[in-house]
Copies of this chain bind each other. A is one copy, B any other.
Amino acid sequence: MFQLSKKADYGLIALKHLAQHTDGSVSAREIAVEYKIPAPLLAKVLQKLARKGLLVSQQGINGGYVLARDPSKISIVDVMEAIDGPIGMTPCERGSSCEQMDRCSVRDPLMKLKIKVVRVLGDTSITELAMN
């Protein structure tokens, strides 16, 4: 399957929401309700994005999250990798072993291809997501 994880989806939805609501912090609960995302799962995703430096968590009675930097400086690939780790188009690139490891003929060309795919994902920012 060549698709985003559900958690990455939730992360993108949340970051887009924050990019569109910059007049204060937004709580995880507000985002969970707005998009019908299971609250405990969204909480974990947002905590992870904060740990990875994409969000800042603000404490207090009106606490919540704000973007850690301008949304034009946060790419889709930043979010995907913060949540699921480095993108690898093949299991071996993600550290898994594989029966073909010692005789694989497609690993190197697929790694080169992955670099091109990551470039496309890296060229798209949360700002572009927020404008669409």
Contacts and interface: CB of A to CB of B under 8 A. Distances in A.
A9 interface: yes
Interface residues of A, number: 44
Given A90-B3, A100-B35, A9 B106 contact: yes
Nearest to A94: B3
A123 B117 CA distance: 11
B100 A37 contact: yes
B129 A13 contact: no
A47 interface: no
A104 B31 CA distance: 12
A77 to B, nearest CB: 10
B4 A105 contact: no
B105 A17 contact: yes
B110 A37 contact: no
Given A100-B35, A104-B35, A3 B109 contact: no
Interface of A: 1-6, 9, 12-13, 16-17, 34-37, 76, 80, 84, 87-91, 93-94, 99-100, 103-106, 108-110, 112-113, 116-117, 120-121, 124, 128-129, 132
